[in-house]
Amino acid sequence: MLARYRQLLATAIFLADGVLVATAWLGAYWLRFRALGLASPLGVPPLPFYLWTGAIVTLAALLVLRTFHIYRSARTARLGDELFALVQGVGIVTALSALGSFFTRGELSRSTLLLFALLASLLLCGSRVAIRYALRQLRRHGRNLRRVLVVGTGEQAGSLVRKLREHPDFGLVVEGLVAPEASPAAEVEGIPVLGTVEDLPGLVERTGADLVYLALARSEYRAEEEALSRLGDSTAAVRLVPDLARVFTLNASVEDFDGMPIVLVTESPSQGWNAVSKRAFDIALSTLGLVTLSPLLLAVALWVRLDSPGPVLYAQERVGFNGRRFRMLKFRTMRVDAEAEGEGWTRPGDPRRTRAGVVLRALSLDELPQLWNVLLGQMSLVGPRPERPVYVDQFRASVPRYMLRHHVKAGITGWAQVNGLRGDTPLDRRIEYDLYYIRNWSVAFDIKIILLTLARVFRDASAH
Longest dimension (CA), the chain: 85
Is the Cβ–Cβ distance between 219 and 245 less than 8 Å?
no
Give the burial class of 101: count Cβ atoms within 10 A of its Cβ; 0-12 exposed, 13-18 middle, 19 or more buried. Answer: middle
Is the Cβ–Cβ distance between 196 and 238 less than 8 Å?
no
Predicted TM-score (pTM) of the model is 0.61
- Please tell me the predicted confidence (pLDDT) of residue 464: 47
Residue 49 has φ and ψ, to the nearest 5°, of -60, -45
Strands (E), 229-379: 237-240, 253-257, 260-264, 313-319, 325-331
Closest CA to 314 of 322, 305, 325: 305
Say which residues have a Cβ less than 8 Å from residue 319's Cβ, sequence separation at least 6: 325, 386, 387, 388, 389, 392, 406, 410
- Please tell me the predicted confidence (pLDDT) of residue 274: 78
Pairing relationship of beta strands 146-151 and 211-214 according to DSSP bridges: parallel
Cα→Cα distances 50→25, 60, 104, 106, 222, Å? 8, 15, 15, 13, 62
Strands (E), 1-109: none
Please report how the helices 273-292 and 443-463 are oriented relative to each other, as an axis angle in degrees rounded to 10. 30
User: Three-state DSSP class for 419?
Assistant: coil
- Per-residue pLDDT tens listing for the chain (464 residues): 555 666 787 888 899 999 999 999 999 888 887 776 555 555 667 778 888 888 999 999 999 988 887 877 677 777 877 888 899 899 899 988 888 777 666 667 788 889 999 999 999 999 999 988 888 888 877 777 888 899 988 888 888 899 888 888 788 888 889 888 877 667 778 888 888 888 888 898 888 888 899 988 888 888 888 888 888 888 788 888 888 766 666 666 666 666 676 777 767 777 777 788 899 999 999 999 999 999 999 999 999 988 888 899 989 899 999 889 999 999 998 887 666 555 655 666 666 778 888 888 888 888 999 999 999 999 999 999 998 898 888 888 888 778 888 888 999 999 988 888 876 677 888 888 998 998 888 888 999 999 998 887 666 554 44
Give the burial class of 376: count Cβ atoms within 10 A of its Cβ; 0-12 exposed, 13-18 middle, 19 or more buried. Answer: exposed
CA distance 199 to 212: 13
User: Three-state DSSP class for 92?
Assistant: helix
Say which residues have a Cβ less than 8 Å from residue 22's Cβ, sequence separation at least 6: 54, 55, 58
CA distance 184 to 181: 10
